[in-house]
DNA sequence: TGTAAATAGTGAAACGTTTTATCAAAGTGG
DNA sequence: CCACTTTGATAAAACGTTTCACTATTTACA
């Protein structure tokens, strides 16, 4: 079951392979009659160009790589979708891979990217593997970092303003009168995790909230750990009157913990989270949160990508820091009076 | 900024390109000393094999295509993740694309798949484009259909038992005493949508529920339409005591409609849905639903894929129909007495 | 009518690999 | 010491395209 090649088409149509190529790529001069004969040969033989051979000769591979942390993550895939649509409109396509926040895996994927001769790379990095990322850049492959930066690398970057989002979240709670605010934070080796915690901590300090260290608990960006930390928080002799949770996944754990202790939001405790998901509007009560402007990030990334793909000249890296927005719903209220 | 080729490495190490190739692929005889020199040359030159050139000569492209309907869909991407992991362990990688249920887009993607000479294709089809799907199969590329079938195509298939899931959902409601059951169904040109509706309809008939046609409303698999239909259902002079909603997206609309009318679940109305998502456990009350065994589907698809990739011989297509499971939580209760 | 430009088609080189046939040296066993 | 086999390395062919240099015909227009 040999594959049909351009040679077969040429023979079938009685022309040279150069002519077939011209028909295929709509380049150069081909007679009307000949074009038709060739087209028909292609049809009847079910010929398909071999993209590998094509990108071997032609420099353009029409491939763009996208490496994300989690492929089943709604936030990331929303961005991916926007990018994919843009690419398709440019006749390119996308290689998607996920490293699951594993640095070794990311190494292998970057290696693959290099081998595949993609024309650009959209990377949600682990934060490590600076050497390989730099290597990709050195090969003149445009790299767009999304969501997270890699220390020591200067290239295009699109991130949420995590610090700002956290600061504002705490600030909002404080404005409602809370001054014992619990925080469940994510992995700190992750720049997102770090920035969100720092924003929260700075806000707590500057706004004169209680800076009880016991109220700041790790959630490791996972549901289980968040559940445990939340439970601990709730069992404190003098528990917080509000909890700020640094991402969606951990919020699932937090809410379960609150449920399991029979507490009610916002009467017993206020809750605010960083990150949006359709269902947070349906939880009772609907969650107040900091939304990441998903669409915006996706669109910006896509635009940037398009520019990088069409621009030949050198360019200077663009850094986009996108501010999240406070979405006020019903999970935060004034703190109840407590006789401590 | 020319790319480094195998030729450069050969020159740098003072050997022939054949030898470099042998080192690269760990094939044939290479002297210990030579191997070292070559390896060093590769390191210092930062050489990266050109995967395109490689797959031109070697038949294996190490690429598997995956075409899904929506790339930001949690259900599909969970499956994709499992498959991707398996592939990586086999040294292959995945081309992910989405057709957004657009048949023309699917055509283009299938074309791309053909051109890319992938070794296998995992396809969540629109249901159309039978000709192109068949063409892929004819090229001896194993095709695994997931989630949905394509009429007239026989190949590997892994689907939920949608009919069963719907039937059981209605059956559960009926067992609680409901006999005016509303249904919000999805797109019917979609086999999933069709099967789910049929299961529900058959159950309603066989179990002697009221077969009031007004209770069966389209939701088109989207939130807005579902919201409208749900609202209509709730405004009926004699509204249903329970509603079965055929997928997650539509359930968002349904719940919003119920909220907006100030109704309470399950006191005023019972709700059951087809499809799981972490947040459905956190909604008040936690939703009773039919879960699709995501992990199972992903794993089965991955295993099947692995087999197809390693098996040379012809094989007969496997059809896997996986039963969803009823997950009882608190959104369904006995119907309240109504003086109609 | 003559000449340049436009049109139509060809053959061969090039892209960066892998593979195959070949050669040469070095071990091996009788 | 001879006839193998094993080991080590090479040059050239092949993979399926695109592109470039060329030839040959037709068209345009001054």
Helices and strands (H, E) in chain A, number of each type = 12, 12
Give the pair of three-digit tokens for residue A271. 């809750």
A45 or B57: which leads in pLDDT: A45
Question: Around Cβ A117, how many Cβ atoms within 10 Å?
Answer: 22
Provide, as residue numbers in chain B, all residues whose Cβ is less than 8 Å from the Cβ of A279.
Answer: 252, 277, 279-280, 282-283
Q: Is residue B331 part of a domain?
A: no
CA atoms of A249 and A162, how far apart (whole Å)? 16
Boundary-marking domain end, from B34, B56, B78: B56
Q: What is the pLDDT of residue B75?
A: 81
Verify that B172 and B133 share a domain, yes or no. no
Domains: count for chain B: 3
Q: What is the C-alpha to C-alpha distance for residues A37 and A14, in angstroms, rounded to an integer?
A: 9
pLDDT at A283 over 50: yes
Q: Quick one: how far is CA B224 from the chain centroid?
A: 22
* Chain A residue nearest residue B65, CA to CA: A95
Burial class (CB in 10 A: 0-12, 13-18, 19+), A336: exposed
Whether residue B136 is contained in a domain is answered as yes
CA A158, C1' D19: Å apart? 39
pTM beyond 0.85: the answer is no
Residues B155 and B302 in one domain: yes
Q: Confirm whether B1 is domain-assigned.
A: no
A110 located within any domain: yes
Tell me whether residue A276 is in a domain.
Answer: yes
Share of chain A above pLDDT 90, in %: 75
d(CA A304, CA A287): 33
* Nucleotide with the nearest C1' to B3 CA: C16
Using a 7 Å cut-off to protein CB atoms, list the covered nucleotides of chain D: 7-12, 14-21
Residue B1 has pLDDT above 60, yes or no: no
For residue B23, name the pLDDT band (cuts at 50, 70, 90): very high
Instruction: Give B34-39's long-range contacts (Cβ < 8 A, gap of 24+).
Output: B37/B13, B38/B9, B38/B13
* Domain co-membership, A203 together with A308: no
Length of chain A: 340
Task: Give CA–CA dist B270/A181, Å, rounded.
Answer: 37
A98 and A193, same domain (yes or no): no
Q: Name the closest residue on chain B to residue A55, using Cα atoms.
A: B52
pLDDT at A189 over 60: yes
Under an 8 A CB cutoff, do B50 and A71 touch? no
Are residues A249 and A174 part of one domain?
Answer: yes
Per-residue burial over A137-155, b = 16 or more CB atoms within 10 Å of its CB, e = otherwise: bebebbbbbbbbbbeebeb
Any domain includes B334: no
User: Is A282 an 8 Å CB contact of chain B?
Assistant: yes
Co-location of A227 and A201 in the same domain: yes
A136-182 pLDDT, tens digit per residue, is 999 889 999 999 999 999 999 999 999 999 999 999 999 999 999 99
Contacts of B84 in chain A (CB under 8 A): 71, 97-98
Q: Do residues B88 and B126 share a domain?
A: yes
| Whether residues B253 and B308 fall in one domain | no
Q: Quick check: is B335 in a domain? A: no
Can you give the CATH number for the domain in which B252 is found? Answer: 3.40.50.2300
**B97 lies within 8 A of chain A by CB:** yes
Structural domain including B153 reads: 60-159+294-321
Residues A134, A222, single domain; the answer is no
The predicted-structure confidence for B35-47, as pLDDT tens digits, reads as follows 999 999 999 999 9
Instruction: Calculate mean pLDDT across residues A246-266.
Output: 95
B6 closest-nt by C1' vs CA: C16
Grade residue B340 by pLDDT with cuts at 50, 70 and 90.
very low
70-89 of A, contacting B, C-beta below 8 A: 70-74, 77-78, 80-81, 84, 88
Q: Which pLDDT tens digit goes with each residue over A97-124?
A: 899 889 999 999 999 899 999 999 999 9
Indicate whether B340 belongs to any domain: no
The lowest-confidence range among A322-326, B306-310, B323-327 is B306-310
Task: Clarify whether residues B288 and B166 are in a common domain.
Answer: yes
Co-location of B80 and B101 in the same domain: yes
**CA atoms of B235 and B125, how far apart (whole Å):** 36
Looking at the structure, do residues A277 and A177 belong to the same domain, yes or no?
yes
pLDDT band at B339 (very low <50, low <70, confident <90, very high): very low
Give B232's pLDDT tier (boundaries 50, 70, 90).
very high
* Apex B261 CA angle, B258 and B267, nearest 5: 60
């Amino acid at each position: 079951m040999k594959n049909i090649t351009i040679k077969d088409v040429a023979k079938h149509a009685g022309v040279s392979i150069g002519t077939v190529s011209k028909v295929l790529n709509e380049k150069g001069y081909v007679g009307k009659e000949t074009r038709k004969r060739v087209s028909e040969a292609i049809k009847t033989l079910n010929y398909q160009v071999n993209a590998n051979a094509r990108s071997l000769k032609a420099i353009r591979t029409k491939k763009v790589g996208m490496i994300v942390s989690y492929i089943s993550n709604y936030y990331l895939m929303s961005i991916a979708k926007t990018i994919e649509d843009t690419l398709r409109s440019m006749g390119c396509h996308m290689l998607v891979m996920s490293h699951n926040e594993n640095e070794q895996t990311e190494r292998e994927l970057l290696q693959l990217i290099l081998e595949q001769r993609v024309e650009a790379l959209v990377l949600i990095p682990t934060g490590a593997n600076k050497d390989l990322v730099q290597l990709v850049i050195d090969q003149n492959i445009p790299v767009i970092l999304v969501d997270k930066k890699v220390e020591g690398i200067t290239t295009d970057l699109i991130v949420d303003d995590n610090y700002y989002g956290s600061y504002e979240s705490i600030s909002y709670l404080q404005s409602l009168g809370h001054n014992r605010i619990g925080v469940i934070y994510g992995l700190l080796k992750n720049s997102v995790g770090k920035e969100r915690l720092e924003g929260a901590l700075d806000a707590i300090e500057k706004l004169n909230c209680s800076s009880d260290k016991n109220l700041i608990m790790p959630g490791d960006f996972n549901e289980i750990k968040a559940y445990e930390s939340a439970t601990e928080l709730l069992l404190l002799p003098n528990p917080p009157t509000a909890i700020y949770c640094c991402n969606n996944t951990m919020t699932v754990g937090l809410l379960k913990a609150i449920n399991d202790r029979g507490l009610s939001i916002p009467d017993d405790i206020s809750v605010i989270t960083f990150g949006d998901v359709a269902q947070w509007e349906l939880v009772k009560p609907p969650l107040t949160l900091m939304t990441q402007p998903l669409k915006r990030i996706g669109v910006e990334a896509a635009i940037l990508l398009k520019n990088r793909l069409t621009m030949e000249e050198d360019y200077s890296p663009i850094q986009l820091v996108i501010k999240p927005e406070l979405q006020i719903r019903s999970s935060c209220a004034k703190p109840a009076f407590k006789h401590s």
